[in-house]
Amino acid sequence: MTAAVPLALARRVKWEQRLFWRNPAAAVFTFAFPLLFLVIFTAIYSDSAVHLPGGTVRFAQYYVPAIVSFGLISACYTNLAFTICVRREDGSLKRTRGTPLSPATYLAGMVGNVVVISLILTVLTIGLGLAFYGLRFPDRYLGLVVTIVTAAFCFSSLGMAVATVVPNQEAAPAIINFILFPLLFISGTFGQISDHSVLARIAAVFPIRPLIQEMVTVFDPFARGTGMVATHLGMLVLWGVAGVVVSLRRFRWEPRRT
């Protein structure tokens, strides 16, 4: 019995992966956006400098970690919210609920899938940064892994939670992106925003800015120690827990039909 659960989960992740890569539109969308932003914005701002608390760095040293964050959000939150809405409304969730597969294993398989996608996207983004944009990684492997895991938890759980407020498939892109994009902009995804600005103070309450700041710190050549900042990671955990609470209360397996 103890071996059966990891096996069932591994099989689910395998199928989710196959489903993801077979649907070219979804796969391209998830990968193209962050990588396109990376190429375009570094081309525009390659010469500008970014001021970190310890000193000044090249634009890419800020921007690559910001895009890694964006990739994590895109892979976890956007993907999961969208997939859950579609599968709920087309009856796939209801069908699965009628089989002996445990709902927890099914959902864990979906999360496992977006974690795999996140890892691929993260490696790609950092690899491009190291190879072409002069990114430096100060060997904070633990900090990087902890940040990725915490972010994956936070944004997967928020993706599930947001899926519960989307009434139907048609409304999904609008609602999911309407929540995401304004926050991406005010959180400094596309360029640094000063801590003292009004936007930054608003953004600090939401999870995206803490993630970007945490990721930038992990790559910050002037910072000391592991690069893990309790307030940033704590904020992500807090939002993740909120997402779990909302999901547990509101998750539906059946389409809304009137």
Partner 1 sequence: MTGDPIPTGPVVKDSVIEVEDLRKSYGGCEAVRGVSFDVAEGEVLAVLGPNGAGKTTVVEILEGYRSRDSGRAQVLGVDPARGGPELRQRVGIVLQECSIERYLTVAEVVRMHSEYYRRPRPIDEVIGLVGLSEKAGSRVKSLSGGQQRRLDLALGLVGDPELLFLDEPTTGFDPSARRQAWEVVRNLCRLGLTVVLTTHYMDEAQALADRVVVMAAGRVVAEGPPESIGGRADAAARIRFRLPAGSTLSDLPLAADADAGGAALVETIEATKALHLLTGWALDRGLELEGLSVTRPSLEDVYLSLTTAPGAQAEAP
* Coil, strand or helix at 35: helix
CA distances for 159 relative to 9, 47, 51, 61, 87, angstroms: 20, 36, 32, 28, 14
d(CA 116, CA 120): 6
Which of 18/250 has CB closer to partner 1?
18
CB of 145 to partner 1, least distance (A): 30
Find the binder of partner 1 among 95, 250, 252, 256 (CB under 8 A). Answer: 95
Kindly state whether residue 101 participates in binding partner 1, applying the rule CB under 8 A: yes
Which of 90/195 has CB closer to partner 1?
90
Find the binder of partner 1 among 51, 97, 252, 256 (CB under 8 A). Answer: 97
Which of 101/149 has CB closer to partner 1?
101
Kindly state whether residue 11 participates in binding partner 1, applying the rule CB under 8 A: yes
Could you tell me which of 180, 165, 163, 177 has the C-alpha nearest to residue 85? 163
Task: Give percent helix, percent strand, percent coil of the chain, each to the nearest 5.
Answer: 70, 5, 25
Site string for partner 1, 75-94 (x = CB under 8 A): ---------------xxx-x
Q: Which stretch binds partner 1 (CB under 8 A): 11-19, 43-51, 136-144, 201-209?
A: 11-19
Kindly state whether residue 256 participates in binding partner 1, applying the rule CB under 8 A: no
Q: Which stretch binds partner 1 (CB under 8 A): 8-16, 29-37, 179-187, 198-206?
A: 8-16
Kindly state whether residue 99 participates in binding partner 1, applying the rule CB under 8 A: yes
d(CA 156, CA 76): 5
HEC letters along 57-123:
EEHHHHHHHHHHHHHHHHHHHHHHHHHHHHHHHCCHHHHHHCCCCCHHHHHHHHHHHHHHHHHHHHH
Q: Which residues bind partner 1 (CB under 8 A)?
A: 8, 11, 15, 18-19, 22-23, 90-92, 94-95, 97-102, 254
